[in-house]
Amino acid sequence: MSSTSRAQSASPGPAVAERARRRIARRLLPFLFILYIANYLDRTNLAYAALEMIHDLHFTDKIFGIGAGIFFIGYLGLQIPGALLVERWSARRWIAAIMIVWGGFTVLTAAVQTAGQLYGARFLLGAAEAGFFPGIIVYVSHWFVRQDRAKATGNFMAAIPLSFVIGSPLAGWIVEQHWLHLEGWRWLFVMEGLPAVVLGAVTFFFLSDWPRDAAWLALDERSWITGQLQQERAAKSTVGSFSIWQALRYRPVVLLTLVNFLQYIGFYSFVFWFPTMLKQLSGLSDFRVGMLGALPYLAGFVALQINGWHSDRTLERRWHVAAPLFLGVGALLALAVLHASTAVAVGLFTLVGISVIALLSPFWAMPTELLS
């Protein structure tokens, strides 16, 4: 075969690769993005339900705080099993099942009357949602080669701030409604739980577990992505294996876990208490609180894109994670010591929102670079 013929036969390779990567991204990322929006709406809608729920049920701040936090006990315990089920069983079946279950538990939260019922509902919701995020991260590794994986994860996680941009005004409006003699906060759980049930059913038919199962990919595209992923797994197998205890003692794992743990304390404290603090400070209606409550997350979404883009451009991660955290600490200290007006407080809350969201894309790029 002549050199010209060999070049012609090899030339389709890059074209097939580019076509496969584009088609996978267009097919999966928008849908996973929507699923994650539904996930965060159901996880955090308690923050806006609390604007009226606390008064209607005569709950104290302590009861609300325990109800918000107990979610994570169930969430913590089932994350690793959820990831393993995606890897070893079926992603579409597992993700579909847990979405239907957590949507059902969200709807049932509308029937809460006592503190014990709130605790039980939140615990079950956390257990149901536990396998979703780690399962999606594993699922992304089934479809995206290493050079695309961090960008795919960053695009997926952009759903976090956008879920609040969409959900905050919507929740503020729903909480003010009283339909069929039911309080608005009860309708909030119903109306934000049902989409998860519907999306869970759609997931079962829309997602494919592996590229080899994807009828929507051409045969050459399936062969290319399957071959690339097999090569990556083969390369990883030469690194060696870690026991679970060795992994837990591995310094990068310990440091990343510590940063993530401390960051989440600030993030979820902000998420669950921000609407209540804003309403007490401003005296605005629930709908206006919801509208203003979207501002920190809108700013956070923009900061996430800029920070992630600049981090990729400079290939620097640590300061792109640390700088937003320092910004958030400064804003929280200012909120604690200043008797701020509503405008100043919203501005400081916005800085907190930027800080807890902007670090996500550079932070989650670090494990893929530091760990095999």
Q: Which pLDDT does position 6 carry in this prediction?
A: 44
What residues have CB less than 8 Å from 77, skipping those under 6 apart? 127, 130
Domain ranges for the chain: 12-234, 242-372
Distance CA 210, CA 216 (A): 12
What are the tokens at 137?
Answer: 């991260």
- Cα dihedral 134, 139, 145, 147, rounded to 10, equals -30
Predicted model pTM: 0.81
CATH number of 12-234: 1.20.1250.20
Distance CA 105, CA 132 (A): 15
Q: Which pLDDT does position 237 carry in this prediction?
A: 59
How do the pLDDT tens digits run along the chain, 372 residues long?
444 444 444 444 788 888 998 999 999 999 999 999 999 888 888 888 998 899 999 999 899 999 989 998 888 877 878 777 877 888 889 999 999 999 999 999 999 999 999 999 999 999 998 888 888 888 888 888 877 876 787 778 888 888 888 888 888 899 888 888 889 999 999 999 999 999 999 999 999 989 988 899 989 889 898 888 888 777 765 555 667 788 788 888 899 999 999 988 888 888 888 888 888 888 888 888 888 888 999 999 899 888 888 887 888 889 999 999 999 999 999 988 887 788 888 899 999 999 988 988 888 878 767 766
What are the tokens at 35?
Answer: 């699923």
H or E element in which residue 126 lies: helix 115-129
